[in-house]
Amino acid sequence: MQGVVWSQPEAFYPALILLSEALTMMSSTKEKTMSSIHSGQDSKVVTRTTRTPVIHAPKLIKVAKADEPLYRQVIEAAKLASKRAYRPYSNYNVGAAVLTFDGKIYAGCNVENCGYTQTKHAEEGAIQAAIADGVLERAEAAGLTQFQAFLAIAVYAPKGSDPWPCCNCRQSLSEFGFEMHVIGEGAQGEILCLTLGQLIPFPFPIQEVLESVRGQR
Ligand SMILES: [Zn+2]
């Protein structure tokens, strides 16, 4: 039988033609799918999960009455900064303001860039402004570490629904301790508050990296 097959390949031409047509059709379907993704039309990509994700939201911290007036000032500073955002590419304003250990408030806003990756986030701007004004020097003089220099950061986005920073900013902020409060205004005007640590349950271990730099690891 095998001898017959190989000696008469023309017997398989019809089957080869069908296979070739099928492959061409599959290829064009794939191209259509990819082009629909790039053109923003409905995609044929189907995503599946093997299990239902479970989200454990952290428990909000009740802000002490005595801290409320100052925290509201920080939130107002973030709101004001959000109005000054430079965001020609997203049209999405964000303002942030940090409260330092010595009661000073520094604000920042998003500053976008046509290169996109050069865009600066509001939280980064606020931290930068505080450091440029010497907060770390003042903290050191007061016997504090970099992890105690910032008490709170407020984040405000007029189009946003909550004040929690993006994950990039969470990592940036973690350089200055996980105890700082991340605050913002809730839907009823109440102050929402979480520690940075609550927003980063499994943080990149800055202490281990610092120990490595010091040769302790
Ligand atoms: Zn961010």
What's the gap between Cα 103 and its chain centre?
27
Q: Any idea which residues carry the catalytic annotation?
A: 123
Cα 110 to ligand 1 centre (Å): 8
Residue 40: predicted pLDDT: 59
In sequence order, the β-bridge partners of residue 105 are 99
pLDDT band of 88, cuts 50, 70, 90:
very high
- The predicted-structure confidence for 184-208, as pLDDT tens digits, reads as follows 999 999 999 999 999 999 999 998 9
The structural domains of the chain, with segments of one domain joined by +, span 2-33, 65-213
Whole-number pLDDT of residue 118:
97
Residue 93, amino acid: N
Q: For residue 179, is pLDDT > 80?
A: yes
Q: pTM for this one?
A: 0.76
Q: How far is the CA of 85 from the centre of ligand 1 (A)?
A: 13
Q: Which residues pair with 153 in a beta bridge?
A: 98, 182
Query: Mean pLDDT in the chain?
Result: 86
Give 158 Cα–ligand 1 centroid separation in angstroms.
15
Domain 65-213: CATH superfamily is Cytidine Deaminase, domain 2 (3.40.140.10)
For residue 8, what pLDDT is reported?
52
- The string of pLDDT tens digits covering residues 8-37 is 545 545 554 555 555 444 444 444 444 445
| Mean pLDDT computed over 135-155 | 98
Instruction: Quote the ligand 1 centre to 200 CA distance (angstroms).
Output: 14
151 contact partners, CB below 8 Å, separation of at least 6: 99, 100, 101, 180, 181
- pLDDT attached to residue 24: 46
Q: Length of the chain, please?
A: 217
Please give the structure tokens belonging to residue 76. Answer: 């107002």
Percent of the chain at pLDDT > 70 equals 80
Query: Tell me, what's the pLDDT at 7?
Result: 47
Beta carbons of 156 and 79 less than 8 angstroms apart: yes
CA of 168 to the centre of ligand 1 (A): 5
Q: Which of 94, 96, 121 is nearest to 107 (CA)?
A: 96
Q: CB within 5 A of ion ligand 1: which residues?
A: 121, 166, 168-169
